[in-house]
Amino acid sequence: MSSSLSDRSTRVRESDSNPLGGVTSKYPGPRAQISRDQKLPWWRRVLPVIASHRATFIFAIGLSFVSLIFQVLVPNMLSGDIDNTLEKHLHSLHGDVIAIVIVGLLAGVTGIISRQYVYATAYNVEADLRSLIYEHLTWLSFSFYDRVQSGQLISRANSDIRSVQMYSTFAPLIVVQCFIGIIAFGFMLFINWKLALLAMIVMPILYVVGIKMRKVMFPISWITQARLAEVATVVDENVNGVRVVKSFAQEEAEINRLADAAERVAWAYIKDANIRAVWSPWVQNLPQLGLALVLFFGGWMVLQGDLKIGQILAFNAYLLMLQAPFMMLGQLVMMGQRAKASAERIFEILDETPDVVDRPGAFDLVDVRGAIDFHHVRFTYGNGVEILSDFDAHVAPGETVAIVGRTGSGKSTVARLMTRFYDVTEGAISIDGHDLRDLTLHSLRENVGVVLDEPFLFSVSIRENIAYGRPDATLEEVEAAALAANADEFIIRLPEGYDTVVGERGYTLSGGQRQRIAIARTLLLNPPILILDDATSAIDVHVESGIYEALRGLLTQRTTIVIAHRISTIALASRVLLLDEGRVIASGTHDDLIARVPLYSEILAQATGGERS
């Protein structure tokens, strides 16, 4: 599994163009994969990604450590200045002031540089994590998307990744603070070991509080991230379905739905805030008890002559440095629990394995003749509903076959199985005698072109949409494909012609225009096997006839399966397969089936009636 992921990542990084045929991004892609070992703690699984940026990260942490070392030196220098210069007048104050200023400047400069490198590392790690999720999502099978909402995926790829990134990169900085706290404690022991131990009396209590806080924070962190995903789902559905919402005047209902989701998020945030309100004061104020004890007993020791004024001032400064990591403890615990909850939500996706993958030893489909055989195919979707049962058929090379049947009879399922969007439950499908499962997915989908009944267009130019499968295609080749799909006539009338940018999902075009562009996109690939899945359902009958006139010459050069409702579509085929209840119940020419199969006539009559209505 890990090797296939690595190979897939390498292919993505080596790609010379982006998915829409644009300029290659400067982002080199993730340098490492998340560990696949599900038994490891979440941070160990993320560690390879962070370690791939170890050069800048170590440099940032090292500079941060140096900066804090300079800060630690300042109180000791002040102590010597106060005791030796101000009280005993042993030497001039000017040199001491200059030394402190220099040390302070060095601390500031190294601190600034370290933060710059920390932020750079953090955002690179975030980009890697987001890229890994996207790569994995493109690898997963259709069955995954059948059961997972897009809003959930968007949330995991955004807010959940940000939580993991923040903790993974900033927690080490807090660890550096802890090391500096140890050094500060060493100076405290050197000044007065009794007072140093007294200052540490509250630290065990802080540890217990931190453990308790971690236990109560994790559940609410998980709930918060899950409810944020619910909001993302509602927003995504409303944006994509805005036309349906407005058509049915359901704006108020959707606003209420979003408000309910937002209220659930608010409840989770309030619960989170209440937990912080209870536990944070303990973490923040317990160290103050140690400071009060130091001031009380330290002041008494100064009066007794056992401690110098400069020493007590330096001791208090070191105590404040020692308290800083503990002051951050509450924030670290909360960040850690949110990161843990987010990481587990991310791993829910990354631990998914696709149902459809290349078999070991899979080979490329080459020199395709186009013979297709369905060997007693049975197929059941994940919800348990059987769609195809004993579907058996043969399509000869170069033949155009129409599949006709009632709605829900399994026609579109045949198209999805041909490209291995899903694998058959039983039986087999073969091309030129090769079981589809023995072929590489990439070569199969290069040779089997599909035009779906619901065309999807990207928010780029029409030219880029048509050239999606061949980003290197020339304008002349794009125009030729558009002519074949009868799309050129409306494209050249657009303001920018082929450079016109379509709106989101292509909604600035009509349904028929979108489908013609989708047909052109497939024709540009010139696949030896073509599947038209009700591809002209949204196209006017007169425009459809023009498309089919252009297609007739092309279809003679390839094997074609047409999912059909209209008689005009069926006319393209030399043979018709009548599908009912998941199996072929009749096969023959259009005229033959009209004459001898009443169900065929009934289905066509219903389709014709739907068109007239």
SS3 string, 306-320, reads CCCHHHHHHHHHHHH
β-pairing, 372-380 vs 426-431, is: antiparallel
pLDDT at 208: 76
The domain made up of 34-350 is a member of CATH 1.20.1560.10: yes
Q: What residue ranges of the chain are covered by domains with CATH 1.20.1560.10?
A: 34-350
Q: Residues 404, 418: contact at Cβ < 8 Å?
A: no
Cα(56)–Cα(67) distance, integer angstroms: 16
Cα(303)–Cα(297) distance, integer angstroms: 10
Q: Residues 350, 538: contact at Cβ < 8 Å?
A: no
pLDDT at 388: 92
Beta carbons within 8 Å of 23's beta carbon, 6+ residues apart: 17
Nearest residue to 396 (alpha-carbon basis) of 515, 236, 521, 560: 560
Backbone angles phi, psi at 386, to 5 degrees: -80, 125
Tokens of 486: 């009868």
The strand order across the sheet containing 372-380 reads 386-395, 372-380, 426-431, 434-435
pLDDT in tens, 480-496: 989 888 888 889 988 88
pLDDT at 24: 42
Tokens of 11: 């292919």
pLDDT at 25: 47
Q: What is the total residue count of the chain? A: 613
Q: Which residue has the tokens 């940018």?
A: 501
DSSP 553: H
Tokens of 608: 């014709």
Tokens of 153: 């995926």
pTM of the model: 0.69
pLDDT at 539: 60
pLDDT at 102: 86
Nearest residue to 447 (alpha-carbon basis) of 395, 510, 369: 369
Tokens of 101: 């200023």
In 448-578, alpha helices (H)? 462-466, 475-484, 488-491, 511-525, 541-555, 567-570
Q: What residue ranges of the chain are covered by domains with CATH 3.40.50.300?
A: 372-612
DSSP 539: S
CATH value of 372-612 in 3.40.50.300, 3.40.50.460, 3.30.70.240, 1.10.3720.10: 3.40.50.300
Strand partners, 451: 532
Give the residues of the chain that fall short of pLDDT 70.
1-27, 78-96, 207, 210, 236-249, 283-285, 287-288, 323-324, 326-331, 504-507, 535-554, 607-613
Backbone angles phi, psi at 569, to 5 degrees: -70, -45
Nearest residue to 342 (alpha-carbon basis) of 162, 209, 524: 162
Mean pLDDT, the chain, rounded, equals: 79
